[in-house]
Amino acid sequence: MELFWYVVVISMLTIYMLLDGYDFGAGIVHLFFAKKEEDKKAITKAIGPFWDANEVWLIAGGGVLFFAFPVLYASSFSGFYLPLIMILWLLMFRGIGLELRGLIKHSMWYAIWDKAFGIASLLLALFFGIAVGNIVRGVNMGHVVNGVSTYEPHYFVLPLWNPTLNPLAESLGVIDWFTLLIGLIGVVALTIHGANWIIYKTNSTINEQLKRIVFRLTIVLTVLALVSLSSWFLVIPHLFENYFAHPIFWIFPLISLTGLIGLFRIKTFKKDGTGFVFSSLFLAGGLASTALSIFPNFLPSTNTINPSLSIYNAAAAHYGLSVGLIWFPIGVVFIALYFILQYRIFKGKMDDGDYGEH
């Protein structure tokens, strides 16, 4: 039962990152590469009908986490309280940046909300990457100091950073050199993903430039991925232990590698949506590979006194998980129908839309 809900949570969070991830990436493209007004409008048209609906998966994933793994939910939302509040504000600024831009037709007004949208998107991509880095690195469960647990075993508190920025320190912070490296990978990967979505959904004059940018960023992403993989062994010495124990797990790194290799061919694709497929493969395969590298743990403990939060010790009672099996399929059907209808209505290019023109 716990394994089923683990797969559900990871799947929902992966879907969220694939869908809202292209929104973040589009915002980064909007911030750095869209110089002309027509290109900026093309980008907002590409994501306009979708961005708020995509966030449903974050809420739904959080809801499933709340009822299926309440200990993990409580521990994470208290321990990561500050960065989670920052993410909440960034989500708000990204939304109001899109919605308020068209209220007043003035260049200064446009500039303010363009920056709000772009910077919030950039920081969200960075923070979600840093979040993945924290999950991989683990946290000091129970806040052990000098071999003594000062909090309850499942409880922890992290400052935004520690003075040394060392991921192996006893007193950890949310940001250190390892989590920042994973955050940079998140920024580059989602920028590529967003650029591919813009290419797929518009005939913007910026599209040819975006293909060149995707190719260059794929080189950067490859270098960062290799550096992070070598650094990973410092943080998780037994990185491939699960993969050797369960060889079927190797399919997910291969999926990610296929996506990465495919992105190098961005300039040769005849169909505009092909690049988006490959960036989706890279992200989905990478997230699944990361989750499986620490399986069955959700949040590893960096000390030997208090246990990691796993799918077993963080799960709700069997009765609650069983009741969820009744209601979950009903919710999935409604969400699936909603998204199928939405993407059918807004299929094809979005150049003729008028999002943001109030």
- Report the C-alpha gap between 61 and 159 in whole angstroms: 25
DSSP bridge pairs for 310: 297
Length of the chain: 358
**What pLDDT does 309 receive?**
94
| CB within 8 Å of 44: residues ≥ 6 apart | 30, 98, 101, 355, 356
- Report the C-alpha gap between 308 and 299 in whole angstroms: 6
- Please say whether the beta carbons of 357 and 102 come within 8 A: yes
Alpha helices in 80-176 (DSSP H): 81-100, 107-137
DSSP 128-193: HHHHHHHHHH-B-TT-EETTEE-S-TT-----SB-TT--TTSSS--SB-HHHHHHHHHHHHHHHHH
- Report the C-alpha gap between 96 and 60 in whole angstroms: 22
Longest dimension (CA), the chain: 63
> Above pLDDT 90, what percent of the chain?
62
**What pLDDT does 355 receive?**
67
Q: Looking at residue 148, what DSSP letter applies? A: E
E strands, the chain, are: 144-145, 148-149, 297-299, 309-310
- Please say whether the beta carbons of 9 and 69 come within 8 A: yes
- Report the C-alpha gap between 153 and 115 in whole angstroms: 42
Closest CA to 349 of 215, 236, 207: 207
What digits encode the pLDDT tens for the residues 137-158? 999 999 888 888 888 888 998 8
**What pLDDT does 213 receive?**
96
- Report the C-alpha gap between 208 and 213 in whole angstroms: 9
**What pLDDT does 18 receive?**
95
3-state SS track over 262-309: HHCCHHHCCCCCHHHHHHHHHHHHHHHHHHHHCCCEEECECCCCCCCE
State the sign of the Cα–Cα–Cα–Cα dihedral 40, 260, 53, 90: negative
Phi-psi region of 147 (alpha: psi -120 to 50; beta: other; left: phi over 0): left
Which position has the token pair 């321990």?
79
**What pLDDT does 237 receive?**
79
Pairing type for strands 309-310 and 297-299 reads antiparallel
Dihedral of CA atoms 138, 236, 229, 156 in degrees, nearest 10, equals: 10
Structure tokens at 202: 């518009």
- Please say whether the beta carbons of 252 and 293 come within 8 A: no
Cis peptide before 296 (omega within 30 of 0): yes
> Which residue numbers in the chain have pLDDT < 50?
358
Residue 253 CA to its chain's centroid (Å): 17
**What pLDDT does 180 receive?**
95
State the sign of the Cα–Cα–Cα–Cα dihedral 179, 182, 184, 187: negative
**What pLDDT does 356 receive?**
59
The upper half-sphere exposure of residue 132, i.e. CA atoms within 13 Å in the direction of its Cβ, equals: 28
